[in-house]
Structure formats: structure tokens, C-alpha cells
Amino acid sequence: MSDVGNRLDHFPTPAAMRKVIDNPADDLKVFITSRESRCDECKQDLGRHAWIRLEGAGRAVCLACADLAHLVFLPSGDAALTRRARKHARLSAVVLKWSQARKRYERQGLLVEEDALDRAEQECAADAATREARRASAAQRRAELDQEYVVRFAARVRELYPSCPKGRETKIAEHACRKYSGRVGRSGAAKALDENAIRLAVVAHIRHRETPYDDLLVGGRERGEARTEVSDRVATVLREWTR
């Protein structure tokens, strides 16, 4: 049994559990586990403190499999920034961690699209007292990236998809390289800049940026269903970028 499966035993009724797992009207939720866990989709061992999403029938999947790997983490603590980031984001997820002491899930922060966070940070920048802290947090996000790897990954994207819009290769590479668990960019194949690994990163990007996929997810659509719905559009864009 997975870690979060055990954690859910703390909920009194199946209805309460369902509410926590997936209320379509509510935010998407990502859980930080506190024991060894494994992705039910890619079967990768995620170690302790893995970030996972729960799907139907108690399946736990890593962020890459859940199509949330492109989001960046904004820790709780800055209410104005969080509110603004959420407002600008098409897709965001609340990050929760079980507190053994308080016997409840506690909010750790928000996973949000980087563009939305950038915009929110700019809007909040007028507040001088917190400006320095925000600069530090942005610097921290960049420091998480292996810059040399990002450059090589981006160059390979450009080579394989020469008609990809300007600047997207860097976006794709940065997202693929983030050091959250289960990110496609950190797999061995991606490290070797394997053509298929690059294609997966590009497809994920297209799905999020060039199709209504995220809106479908937010609307509570099953991931598989949403993927099927946008697959023609993804294939078309991929073809255009390959030319």
C-alpha cells in the first residue's frame, strides 16, 4: 500500500476522502509523501518525500506522469504573491503534507505556471520590504537548474524542431530539467539527449501551451480522456515545428 493510501485512512468516511482527493470544483492537489513511495504509472521509485498526485482508485502518480512537472513551487507565506500567481495561472495545484502531530493535511504552498509566478512577482515588486526575498526566491529557482544541461537540451530541441517558436526551446529545456521528482529531463535518456526523451518534453510543452489540455484538467476531466481529446492538435503542432 502506498504511503498516501495509508494516510487516507485518517479520513473518517469515503466521502471525505473523495473530497480531499478530487473535487473538480476545487484546486488540484499534490501530496508530499512521508514514506517510500512508487509511481503507479511509470513504476519509478520516488523515494521519501515524493510529490505525487492521487487519481481514481487511490492510484498515486509522480508529477511527470500527472502532467504537472512543468509547474514551479511557491512556498506558502506570501499571501499576496500566492493570490496573484493563482489568479494568473491557468493551472495550479495546492501542495499538501500530512501532519502526524495535528492529524491533518497542511498546505505547503502552490505549484503554479512559471509565467504566472513571474507576472505575480512583477506586480508585487512595488513592495520594497519583500522585494529582496522575492529576488532570492527567483534566484533559487534558477539555481535549481543545471545551466549547461539546459543549454545543451535547448540546442537539441531547436535541432529536432527547427520551426518551434523563438525562445520556446529554452522554456522546454528548463521545465524538463527541473529537479523535482520524476521529471522527464532527469532520466538517463534525457541526459543523453535521446531523441525520444526530447520529443516527450516537447509534446508535454505543446499539450500545456498549445492546446486546452490544462483547462480540461482543471475542469475535472480524467487525464487519459483529456490527452485523447487534444492528441490531434498536439500531432499537428509537432509536425509544424518539425518542418
Which stretches of the chain bind Zn ion, using CB under 5 A? 39, 41-42, 62, 65
Q: What spatial distance separates the first Cα and last Cα of the chain, rounded to whole Å? A: 47
Shortest distance, position 112 Cβ to Zn ion, whole Å: 21
Beta-strand relationship, 72-75 and 60-62? unpaired
DSSP 165: P
Shortest spacing between CB 46 and Zn ion, in angstroms: 8
CA distances from 178 to 4, 20, 98, 183, 204 (A): 24, 27, 24, 7, 14
Write down the least CB distance from residue 63 to Zn ion, Å: 8
51 versus 213: smaller Cβ distance to Zn ion: 51
Q: Please check whether residue 72 is in contact with residue 111, taking contact to mean a CB–CB distance below 8 angstroms.
A: yes
CB of 233 to Zn ion, least distance (A): 24
- Give the residue with the Cβ less far from Zn ion, 50 or 154: 50
Query: Min. distance of Cβ 43 from Zn ion in angstroms?
Result: 7
**Bridge partners of 62?**
52
Q: Which is nearer to Zn ion, 44 or 170 (CB)?
A: 44
In this complex, which beta carbon is closest to Zn ion, that of residue 41 or of residue 118? 41
Question: Strands across the sheet with 28-32, in order?
Answer: 60-62, 51-54, 28-32, 92-99, 104-112, 72-75
Residue 107 half-sphere exposure toward CB, CA atoms < 13 A: 15
* Contact between 69 and 184 (Cβ < 8 Å): yes
Minimum CB distance to Zn ion smaller for 35 or for 239: 35
